[in-house]
Structure 1
């Protein structure tokens, strides 16, 4: 037997998109319930790059000081490696106007806790942890709510004017609605792990530098007290890597990063390798009557550029700006949902197209053991015209259509360096 509750908007998924949407709608006076299946936000190797567009948004929401107080490191530029020479700066964030001239590396759980705390200060905001969304409720062809299941086995139906699926690339609600994304081919996966930052390298490391050797790629992200590392190889390699064992994997890491030889012993088991099945897909339609999908549920992104979180947050801002008034007045119609997809489709398509080009021109040849000609061309241009490094920095930091906080959600700015 299940109980029933009612709200105006129910959001499935307490990731960056879901939490941001819940906060914004609550600040508009909309009764909103966010459902998160886990008991907390403490999960490693979720996207941790917070780009300038999101930092600016947090400033507009009056959360800038709290955000900058979180443990974080700053990326000031992106570099391209060369097999036969020094790395070349591809994107220099320092050429962007301050204070939005960097990418912040922040544990995602800290960002989510910040948004949750801000949401709880709003009287119409409810966050329910340990509550999984398992199915849709319907009245004919219209979605009218969701069916939930708590960690204790309690079933509950939540009725709502609108259901928002922000439940990720394996979205339960997308499948329940029968919406099928178009898949773009991806030839590689990534394995994430941590390595310690020693006392000798605790100074600020401002660059993200990929390393290419043979048919492998390694990227390391400097964090406050460790390196977050991504190892790239062909799809289907997971079983091989685990069968080879952790000692062989440590050898792979050292071949790509000899300077990590003094710390790879921290990897003691292949259980420390977290494999990401890289996907790149997009729904042709992001909604049905009563249901809207945003973020990875609508368009899974490649890790190239680290833009996934920020694009999902932009979806949430657009959805709040377009839907808050009809939700508050209980007059939401299907056309309102279509407007969200229409606004966010172009920037999503642009970023995904850029990722597909990057895959084809850089990742595919690199993982085949060839030096990408694109790298040599970009290196030559960047050396002769350093100012052009602002262009990729702008695209990565802000995206093609960055959203601003709607007026109803803004609070006094607390911008600081």
Structure 2
């Protein structure tokens, strides 16, 4: 019997598979896709994620693949720059770093495949579980193959099949929303510095930055009201709409570029009250789908892996019985859940700040007029924003790899 079957070869599932294989544990990693080249993959590593990468021994890999540290964050309201914050935010700290996630995953896969006790099964989804005495003891794939397991780990994202098959409920937060994601060619305007622009003009808001692939990436917050046509966004002139919301220097760039059809990212934010069932463990977005605000998904998933490895490796190396494996699963949730709850609260607070500015025009215009000219107001706004970011960047709890 394979000791561990991991479903989902994203950053969470693949790094856990690598750590377990390195420690002599038999692992089968199952991924429904045939490659890592998805339309949308988060690529921002906060200092908390970079720390997890260091614990895993993958810092050199990040240095070898396409990566791009952010130079600064700039906030533009009603076409006026309100304030800017340079990276890194703390003396001697790490800068938020963008990585090519497909290249990162390929590098981790190469590391895992050095171990004969690791097997990767791609292009086949999980169809069902095998149950014995109310415990999951294996999976059935779409091609009817059956794979036995002492433990099934669901790392298959916010729409997790593992979560569904294990009948683990997800409590969804009210702040779930949609984002339109655009990619377009870069221009010399962005060559000198990689700045993450947060732009708000009227009711329209979006973020813009230069990705590791050399393309400008835009995330547009799609505002919908009850009764709105859900497909109305497909008929809009997005080049014109983006340029209208951007300051002149960015609007010129956007008007000159070819704009492909955007990718619709439906954002579900929530938390499973219970991350485990007999024989099953959920990690990453499968257990706690995160908001895209400040790129927490990949970072929290990597920190989940560190803690999960600390608990799982000892019992799996000792060939503990199934009851002993199941006994450590609640401990993993107990250690990780406080940070996830706090980070989601911080993300929610960020969303609320943006909605306040979006919905209350006098405040929005007051900030946009006063902050650029009154240093006291600008500095207070800037410091208030930095203070809110520090825990989102560092993480709330201390995480370290102990096995």
Same topology, TM > 0.5: yes
**Which of 39, 42, 46 is 1:51 aligned to?**
46
Distance 2:16 2:359 in 1: 38
Q: Report if the CA contact (8 A) 1:147-1:157 is conserved.
A: yes
Q: Report if the CA contact (8 A) 1:53-1:402 is conserved.
A: no
Query: Is there any run of 5+ residues in structure 2 with no aligned partner, and where?
Result: none
The aligned counterpart of 1:212 is: 200
Are residue 125 (structure 1) and residue 118 (structure 2) matched?
A: yes
**Aligned-residue offset at 1:368:** 7.0
Query: Using a 3 Å threshold, how does the CA distance of structure 1 residues 382 and 370 change in structure 2: closer, same or farther?
Result: closer
Aligned-partner SS, 2:231: helix
**Aligned-residue offset at 1:403:** 2.1
The aligned counterpart of 1:174 is: 163
The aligned counterpart of 1:277 is: 266
Distance 1:81 1:401 in 2: 32
Q: Report if the CA contact (8 A) 1:96-1:390 is conserved.
A: no
Note the 1:12-411 alignment, pairs <5 A.
12-83=7-78, 85-89=80-84, 92-98=86-92, 100-149=93-142, 154-186=143-175, 188-205=177-194, 207-224=195-212, 225-235=214-224, 238-244=230-236, 248-257=237-246, 258=248, 259-264=250-255, 266-267=257-258, 272-331=261-320, 332-363=324-355, 365-366=357-358, 371=363, 383-384=379-380, 391-406=387-402, 408=403
Distance 2:265 2:88 in 1: 31
Q: What's the CA shift string for 1:349-383, capped at 9, x where partnerless?
A: 00111112222232364167674599789996761
Aligned length: 390
- Calculate the aligned-residue CA RMSD, in Å: 2.7
Query: Using a 3 Å threshold, how does the CA distance of structure 1 residues 166 and 371 change in structure 2: closer, same or farther?
Result: farther
Aligned-partner SS, 1:68: helix
Distance 2:83 2:253 in 1: 26
Query: Using a 3 Å threshold, how does the CA distance of structure 1 residues 92 and 399 change in structure 2: closer, same or farther?
Result: farther
Aligned-partner SS, 2:33: coil
**Aligned-residue offset at 1:81:** 3.0
Q: What's the CA shift string for 1:132-167, capped at 9, x where partnerless?
A: 122111102111111112xxxx32111111000011
Query: Using a 3 Å threshold, how does the CA distance of structure 1 residues 384 and 170 change in structure 2: closer, same or farther?
Result: closer
Aligned-partner SS, 2:157: coil
Aligned-partner SS, 1:277: strand
Q: Report if the CA contact (8 A) 1:294-1:316 is conserved.
A: yes
Q: Report if the CA contact (8 A) 1:92-1:389 is conserved.
A: no
Query: Using a 3 Å threshold, how does the CA distance of structure 1 residues 359 and 380 change in structure 2: closer, same or farther?
Result: farther
**Aligned-residue offset at 1:267:** 4.2
- With normalisation by structure 2, the TM-score equals 0.88
Q: Report if the CA contact (8 A) 1:29-1:124 is conserved.
A: yes
Distance 2:336 2:378 in 1: 31
Q: What's the CA shift string for 1:219-270, capped at 9, x where partnerless?
A: 01212421111111214665111133xxx1111110122424344464455x
Distance 1:370 1:334 in 2: 55
Q: What's the CA shift string for 1:28-68, capped at 9, x where partnerless?
A: 21111111111110112211111222223333333222211
Q: Report if the CA contact (8 A) 1:93-1:393 is conserved.
A: no
Q: Report if the CA contact (8 A) 1:254-1:261 is conserved.
A: yes
**Aligned-residue offset at 1:97:** 4.9
Distance 2:331 2:366 in 1: 37
Query: Using a 3 Å threshold, how does the CA distance of structure 1 residues 284 and 380 change in structure 2: closer, same or farther?
Result: farther
Distance 1:396 1:230 in 2: 19
